[in-house]
Structure 1
């Protein structure tokens, strides 16, 4: 499978992973979803600072604070047969702060947020307990396959 990630950076952070890692992490998420069977996939990634992250979270979720990742699945007619899965917005300072608070390596938290957001693009959610449990199990499988610790272990929360 070929994964293309179109990255736009509107953040002053100097700790953003390189594009090869970003593509690897998103590709790992896609590879582990059983019913995802496309040869090509495209994701747009927009990396922002807190002010823009807060604006977008307020605009789209009516929550007046910056969040780590926002996901906007593409709503394209199936007959178009385009590889675009959707857009992800990651707030770099929030991801950096959370990594410190959760005592995780920054790369592990970036990978987690990109995997988490990618799963949202594919329709996974965590609104109810059963969905959350399934999504967390899948995230754990993906991240441990990449060599990271389980993201939801008690010492990482």
Structure 2
């Protein structure tokens, strides 16, 4: 189950199908894995507060991933966790990198879901493996390689 909640209307003002983009990207990242994901599309202040509270970083960031604490609900796939994306940061990054907001949202949703699935990028080998997986998933969605040198401004 994938649930997308839009808390900041700026998302749909800029990208009317924001919920559908996030849902497709999350589904692609999950593949055949069964599990629930909630994607919250919100504002920079909300993400800044969460980042300060849970990561001791008092600034907004593009996406935060919060893995579920192993709870189960009878008759439902186990929840994997929540993603929270900040509109202002995401929109500014997309513009600076010469990408559409839809492609950037898809990329960050895939990135966040992979974190919920246990992937990380703490060292170079992990980063390369995670980026390769992101590229592969995004290609199935028709999204260009977000790590190409010419994709960055």
TM-score interval for Structure 1 and Structure 2 normalised by the shorter chain: 0.7 to 0.9
Q: How far apart are 1:77 and its partner, in Å? A: 5.1
1:22 maps to 22
- TM-score, with structure 2 as normaliser: 0.88
Residues 51, 60 of structure 2: 8 Å contact kept? yes
Runs of 5+ unmatched residues, structure 2: none
Of 2, 11, 14 in structure 2, the residue corresponding to residue 5 of structure 1 is 2
Moved more, 144-153 or 73-82: 73-82
Runs of 5+ unmatched residues, structure 1: none
Correspondences of 1:7-156 after superposition (within 5 Å): 7-13=4-10, 14-16=13-15, 17-31=17-31, 37-38=33-34, 41-76=35-70, 82-156=77-151
> Aligned partners of 2:41, 2:141: CA distance in 1, in Å?
22
Q: How far apart are 1:42 and its partner, in Å? A: 1.6
Q: How far apart are 1:124 and its partner, in Å? A: 0.4
Q: How far apart are 1:79 and its partner, in Å? A: 9.7
Structure 1 115/37 Cα, relative in aligned 2: closer, same or farther at 3 Å?
closer
> Aligned partners of 1:105, 1:82: CA distance in 2, in Å?
32
Aligned-CA RMSD value: 1.9
Structure 1 138/128 Cα, relative in aligned 2: closer, same or farther at 3 Å?
same
- TM-score, with structure 1 as normaliser: 0.86
Runs of 4+ in 1 over 4 A off after TM superposition: 77-81
